[in-house]
Amino acid sequence: MKNKEKFQPTRGSLFIPGGSSGVLLVHSLGGSPLEMKSVAHALSRKGMTVYCPVVPGLTFGTDVSGLSTWHDWYQSVSKAFDDLREMCETVIIGGASAGSILALRLAAYRQGQAAGLMLYAPTLAVNGWAIPKTIKLFHCVTDKWTARLFKFRTPAPYGIKDERVRNFALEAMRGADNLPADITMRGGGTVYEFLSLVRNVRPMLSLVKLHTLIFHPRHDDQSDIKNTMTLQRKLGGIVEVSVLDDSYHLVTLDRQRGYVVDRTVEFVDRLLASEAAKSGRKQTAANSTKQLGAAE
């Protein structure tokens, strides 16, 4: 296994070395690992190794030209998963908003290597109450060159109900350099790639049989709760849903983040206990086989 102390995560990533159980967290489109900080630190206090990587093209400020593709995003997330697997015996996958779609794709292909799945306001369709209906016209765009002519501004309240937290989060995402770039703006090329990713992942939802926990706001400003209802109906494994009544889209930052963190930790504890029980049963079976072989 890789030495955690020598592992070099992508610059700007959130990596907290810990024990042999790990969690991979994927942030939202145009966001940053800071979104997942409260969840990451809570899990690290439980002794887990946590990695929320910067994903070129997905992370704010990493693809100004809009030339990256969802394949690039997925390749980066897949590599992060492999890195974590080399350091940990057990890995759980988590994703927020658009990051949850990358997490779902990873789960479909790697579920034999993962212990569970956590989704925070998953977004199959950008259809929250604050989203202009005109975005539906963008679905008529069939090529990326045309898509790049568009720009989309994330409408207020920017996914955060609590005004104090909202202002703090917006300033934090600008970074220490106080970047002048508009962090609420999304290029049409990036949105086009996200919609292409969704179209790729939808047909494989039934293949995802991992035990899944989903958090979704009842009044999500960016992603209607129907997104989670679709996942609950189509995913192939056990699905637990927590409906939040005092948060908007960025549930790991908003008013109910404490509940989200506590429920996440409790879910992870159950998954790890289940994995330990499975391991114990396998070891018992192996010992019994050895004893029978010796008796022969």
| Banded pLDDT at 186 (limits 50, 70, 90) | confident
Residues paired with residue 212 on neighbouring β-strands, in sequence order: 117, 239
Range of the domain at 129: 14-295
Any domain includes 8: no
- The whole-chain average pLDDT of the chain stands at 90
Is the link from the previous residue into 56 a cis peptide, with omega within 30 of 0?
Answer: no
Any domain includes 3: no
Any domain includes 6: no
Residue 179 has pLDDT above 60, yes or no: no
Overall number of domains in the chain? 1
Cα dihedral 131, 133, 139, 143, rounded to 10, equals -70
Rounded Cα distance between 67 and 267, Å, is: 37
Q: Which pLDDT does position 8 carry in this prediction?
A: 87
Provide the CATH number for the domain around residue 263.
3.40.50.1820
Residues paired with residue 26 on neighbouring β-strands, in sequence order: 95
Q: What is the pLDDT of residues 54-72, one digit of tens each?
A: 999 999 888 877 789 999 9
Q: Quick one: average pLDDT of 283-291?
A: 52
Q: What are phi and psi of 76, to 5 degrees?
A: -65, -45
Q: Which pLDDT does position 291 carry in this prediction?
A: 54
Token couple for 210: 């991992």
Q: What is the pLDDT of residues 136-146, one digit of tens each?
A: 899 999 999 99
Residue 285 has pLDDT above 90, yes or no: no
Q: Which pLDDT does position 289 carry in this prediction?
A: 45
Any domain includes 278: yes
Q: What is the pLDDT of residues 69-124, one digit of tens each?
A: 999 999 999 999 999 999 999 999 999 999 999 999 999 999 999 999 999 999 99
Residue 181 has pLDDT above 70, yes or no: no
Contacts of 274 (CB under 8 A, 6+ apart): 115, 211
Any domain includes 2: no
Q: Which pLDDT does position 50 carry in this prediction?
A: 98
Any domain includes 9: no
| Banded pLDDT at 296 (limits 50, 70, 90) | low
Q: Quick one: average pLDDT of 280-288?
A: 56
Q: Which pLDDT does position 280 carry in this prediction?
A: 67
136-143: which pairs have CB atoms within 8 A and are 24 or more residues apart? Answer: 138/188, 138/191, 138/192, 138/195, 139/195, 141/188, 141/192
Any domain includes 7: no
Q: Which pLDDT does position 282 carry in this prediction?
A: 60
Any domain includes 72: yes
Residue 207 has pLDDT above 60, yes or no: yes
| Banded pLDDT at 156 (limits 50, 70, 90) | confident
